[in-house]
Structure 1
Amino acid sequence: MTETAKAEPEERILTFGNVFGRDAGGIVVLLVLAGAMTLASQQFLTGDNLANLARQVAIFGIIAVGQLMVIITAGIDLSVGSMLGLSGCLTAELLFHGMNIPLAILVGLLSGVVVGLVNGWLVAYAKLPPFIVTLGMLGIARGVVLVLTDAATVQPLPNAFGEIANGTLLGLPNLLWLLIVVVAVGAFVLRRTVFGRYLYAIGSNPESARLSGVPVTRVLLAVYAIAGLLAAVGGVLFASRLNAGIPTAGTGYELNAIAACVIGGASLFGAKGTAMGAAVGALIVATLNNGGNLLAVNSFYLQIIIGLLILVAVLFDQFQTRRAARAG
């Protein structure tokens, strides 16, 4: 009787860990943050604010899923913010000059894939450090945007283009539905496909993965292309939401994407993280920004808070890793 009674709490703890895993910490932080914002501002739970929050988190979350896949391989992509600006402004320029909406969007998305492929080739085949490659691409892509637009906002754009991001379906913003689709597909790929298992294997030990038959270079090329594609999706949606091409769009989004991943349970050392965790982390970052606007908090302080959250998440990950190593 006593042994059974003692076993029950352990069983419940194991069940919680199996269900939420590394996402659990992010979920707790999100619940605490949402509760605090509800108490601090009466506007937080209004329909208009929640719809605005959903649109904000959608763009962060879509980019974060791509960033997560790169981080799982023990890499990093600092160029996603600039790719967002590039794809959005390129799409806007083509629309401004009369191209039809589907074709302009396709070209914008392809621009992200091309930049991602360049990043992937330099990392996988030229063996350059991901940090250096994507830092360089951050500057290059942003420079191309400024040259393309002459540093001026691109508008007016067709109203139908603006409806893509600002419309609703079944009472929920289109952007939220798109985020749900991206997270669901990302979760399926990571948990149920060979490609997903390859990503975790590479992040754990690329040489062992190669010796086990994993096509490391091709997988890395593909994962940076996916990150570029999702950054481009975020760029097109950002341009649609504002119905304009903004040359500075996406500035600092690479920090938000990385923050979303690590706050959601990913490890910057690779082989850990889930799509749901990245989505939860993106919601935390978006809630911080949204709450800061409601409470008139200086945006510079919000950047400090997000930076501190990244440091705390990395320290916690290191603590867990060392404790597991000692236990083993």
Structure 2
Amino acid sequence: MSDIASNSPARPSRLFSSFSVRDAGTLIGLVLILAVFAVLVPGFLSERNLINILQQSSINACLALGMTLVIISGGIDLSVGPTAAIAAVISATLLVSGYPVPLAIVSGLGIGVLCGLVNGVLVAHVGLQPFIVTLGTLSTYRAIALIYTGGNPVLGIPPEFRALFNGSLAGIPSSVVIVAAVAAVAWILLKKTPIGEYLLAVGGNEEAAYVSGVPIALTKVTAYVISGTLAALASLILIGRLGAAEPILGNLWELDAIAAAAIGGASLMGGKGSVIGTILGAIILGAMRNGLTLMNVQAFYQLLATGLIILFAMMIDRVTRGRE
């Protein structure tokens, strides 16, 4: 890996040293949003509402962690929502048919792995552009979910499955605990393992990474497989909460995941991203939507706010990259 450093202008070390600064800025942004809504909405900072924000943010945080790894590698995954939909309806079908809960969970996660693998192979081995590939699989996976269910929801999720994903541990929702564990693993993967260095190297300078012996194709495929797996996990969390699975589940989830990653410092140019920043970005979006909902702001204005946040985050990235 010393060759990577010499061929890619100290990219990993610069990234690691700048993360704390960008993460601090994201944290300050979160504090400011909480402070504004605390003034505008009585009870916004109550323990119950803060836990509610974390629970609402958990699904997007799970998606965004996978999206962050893909973005760091220089790619994009627009198919996370439909991937989640396929995983959800297949897992739900197994559950209502009486199959064991572990089998349904493994099957759902396996669907996520398969969808991510297809994306990764098309990008890394066939050589197609990530945007085009995942735009195509977005429609394909959604169609598969609709065809599989005939467009109908799958109802009657058993209580034991719902208790697993919609319960609590020491007063903390299970979904928050699960995503916190996923975030810890993602942080270790990115900071402490070779695959983390490979992702940063490939996204920062793919040609230099190739010359240095980095397994380019394997690195990209791994990123997409992780993204698909976490999309499937997010869908399991949601159907555990709702008690049903719909083939239209996950609509526009890719927008939220990209927004959270971008707010957290990930660059769509690749080679830059932060697990901590992504989690903070997801919480910022969750807090903003929670506050706007409590203020009775209509949903399409919330969508507008999300789009503006993405644009703002991209402008910040452009400015910071220009100073590097």
For 1:67 and 1:172, the matched residues in 2 are separated by: 25
Q: Provide TM-score, normalisation by structure 2.
A: 0.92
Letter in 1 for 2:170: L
The offset of 1:98, in angstroms, is 1.4
1:16-68 Cα shifts (integer Å, max 9, x gaps): x8672221221111111111111111232234322322211111111111000
The residue number in structure 2 matching 1:288 is: 288
Structure 1 segment 185-224 matched on structure 2, within 5 A = 185-224=185-224
For 1:166 and 1:215, the matched residues in 2 are separated by: 39
- Segments of 4+ moved more than 4 angstroms: none
Query: For the Cα contact (< 8 Å) 2:62–2:231, is it kept in 1?
Result: yes
Secondary structure (helix, strand or coil) at the match of 1:98 reads coil
Query: For the Cα contact (< 8 Å) 2:165–2:236, is it kept in 1?
Result: no
Letter in 2 for 1:238: L
Q: Provide TM-score, normalisation by structure 1.
A: 0.91
- Consecutive unaligned residues of structure 2, counting only runs of 5 or more, are 1-16
Query: For the Cα contact (< 8 Å) 2:55–2:175, is it kept in 1?
Result: yes
The offset of 1:141, in angstroms, is 1.0
Secondary structure (helix, strand or coil) at the match of 1:22 reads helix
Secondary structure (helix, strand or coil) at the match of 1:42 reads coil
- Number of positions where the alignment pairs a residue of Structure 1 with one of Structure 2: 308
The residue number in structure 2 matching 1:26 is: 26
Letter in 1 for 2:136: G
For 1:35 and 1:146, the matched residues in 2 are separated by: 42
Query: For the Cα contact (< 8 Å) 1:204–1:271, is it kept in 2?
Result: yes
Query: For the Cα contact (< 8 Å) 2:19–2:274, is it kept in 1?
Result: no
The offset of 1:121, in angstroms, is 0.2
Query: For the Cα contact (< 8 Å) 1:62–1:230, is it kept in 2?
Result: yes
Structure 1 segment 1-328 matched on structure 2, within 5 A = 20-324=20-324
The offset of 1:280, in angstroms, is 0.5
For 1:231 and 1:164, the matched residues in 2 are separated by: 18
User: Quick check: 18-27 or 260-269, which moved more?
Assistant: 18-27
Query: For the Cα contact (< 8 Å) 2:71–2:270, is it kept in 1?
Result: yes
For 1:19 and 1:134, the matched residues in 2 are separated by: 28
For 1:127 and 1:46, the matched residues in 2 are separated by: 50
Identical amino acids, percent of aligned pairs: 40
The residue number in structure 2 matching 1:7 is: none
For 1:148 and 1:105, the matched residues in 2 are separated by: 18
- Consecutive unaligned residues of structure 1, counting only runs of 5 or more, are 1-16
For 2:309 and 2:24, the matched residues in 1 are separated by: 16
1:75-110 Cα shifts (integer Å, max 9, x gaps): 100001111111111111111111111101110110
For 1:227 and 1:19, the matched residues in 2 are separated by: 21
Query: For the Cα contact (< 8 Å) 2:203–2:271, is it kept in 1?
Result: yes
1:176-202 Cα shifts (integer Å, max 9, x gaps): 111111111111111111110000000
The residue number in structure 2 matching 1:11 is: none
Report the RMSD for the aligned CA atoms in angstroms.
1.3
Letter in 2 for 1:313: A
Aligned in 2, Cα 1:304/1:159: closer, same or farther, shift over 3 Å?
same
For 1:104 and 1:263, the matched residues in 2 are separated by: 34
Secondary structure (helix, strand or coil) at the match of 2:156 reads coil
Letter in 2 for 1:234: A
